[in-house]
Amino acid sequence: MTTQTEVTPSPFAEVLPFTGEPPVSPGGSLPTAPLIKTQTQYHTAVSVQRPRDLDKIVQSVLREAEFAGDAFYWSWPVKNKKTGKVEMLEGPSIGLAMAVAREWTNCAVPVEYYETLTEWIFTAHFVDLEKGFTVSRVFRKKKGKGSFQAWEGDRAEDMTFQAAQSRAIRNVVCAGVPRWLLDQAMGVAKDAVTKKITPEKLAEASDKAVKFFAGYGVKEEQIVAVLGVPRVQWGSKEIVTLRGMVSQLKDGQASSEQLFPAVETKKEPPPEASKAKRARASKAEGPQTPTAPPSLLPRAAPLEQLEAIRLGCLDKGIEVELIFQQWHLSRLEDLDGDRAQEVLEWLEGQ
């Protein structure tokens, strides 16, 4: 009777020594590389079959921006409390961020999240596999209907969740790819929108904008109040801005109430009240003591506000340089109290 002996293979029998060079098959071609899942935040550069071609990337992104138009940027109105005028902030949309990430190649954007009783917390990572570069951004969003108040229950909350996840992805992609590429793509997209608005089509474009916002319960007077320009004077600049707001609404990144606050109407007192007030003033005895004039110097923003802005930028994944650019600052300490409050209100809406 023949006895068979079971041979236990060595666990290291198939392990080849690491040389740093990609393995080559007998036919000379590279074998298909398997996908490797990593549990760490940081990644080392890997050898890729098609290295990144920056010229082709720029050409592809800008070409796509010509077709995308207003889908590649957003607009957000902010009222300057010092001047009383509305200023427009602009930035890249989730559509532009995804287009750049796709054309950038050799990268990944994994997203992790956990939730508390009141909010969702997303942590998005931009991983450049070719360069071995990783950047992360954390984004928090309160649970609830958010910008989808017209939707029913769970459906509205699900849409808010998806919009928050998209914003987390947008923030980290914008942090990981060159800012100049995003700015160029936004410029091309806005130019593409402007070119389509000929003087003959300006009235039609204005009508479409007013009708679109009317579907969200926005009145024409609210649009005029935000733009600061009567409808008869709207030009291509105003239409480009309005279409940026359309992108915000379509992507669920803002609500109509946030973009177009209700217009405050000043109520004049009835004539009888005015006469009674003048009569009481005429009976006042003694010289009137003049009130002290308010200080001409703006009040500097307190440290608590500046720290809240820094934390807000970190929480929302927004670069502080964007605040500098939009508010024309060289440092946060240049803000006065009113302008710092404007920045905080804007961050709250992000």
Average pLDDT estimate for 222-244: 85
Between strands 119-128 and 111-115, the pairing is: antiparallel
Predicted confidence at residue 342, as pLDDT, reads 81
Other CB atoms closer than 10 Å to residue 10's CB: what's the count? 8
Helix (H) or strand (E) holding 138: strand 133-142
Mean pLDDT taken over the chain: 77
pTM of the entire predicted model? 0.60
Token duo for residue 183: 């700015």
Q: What is the pLDDT of residues 43-52, one digit of tens each?
A: 677 778 889 9
Pure H helices in 138-254:
153-176, 179-196, 202-214, 220-227, 236-251
DSSP state of 296: S
**Phi–psi pair at 178, nearest 5 degrees:** -60, 135
Please report which confidence band the pLDDT of residue 35 belongs to, taking 50, 70 and 90 as the band edges: very low
- Decide: residue 97, CB within 10 A, 0-12 exposed, 13-18 middle, 19+ buried: buried
CA distance 78 to 16: 61
Q: Is 30 helix (H, G, I), strand (E, B) or coil?
A: coil
Q: What is the pLDDT of residues 134-189, one digit of tens each?
A: 999 999 988 876 555 555 667 778 888 888 899 999 999 999 999 999 999 999 99
CA distance 71 to 246: 9
- Each domain of the chain, given as residue ranges in start order, spans 54-260, 299-350
- Is the distance from CB of 254 to CB of 147 less than 8 angstroms? yes
Question: Which residue type does 148 have?
Answer: F
- Is the distance from CB of 149 to CB of 255 less than 8 angstroms? yes
Helix (H) or strand (E) holding 80: none
Beta bridge partners of 89: 76
Q: Is 23 helix (H, G, I), strand (E, B) or coil?
A: coil
Residues 6+ away with beta carbon under 8 Å from 38: none
Q: What is the pLDDT of residues 284-327, one digit of tens each?
A: 444 555 554 555 556 777 777 777 787 777 777 777 777 777 77
Please report which confidence band the pLDDT of residue 108 belongs to, taking 50, 70 and 90 as the band edges: very high
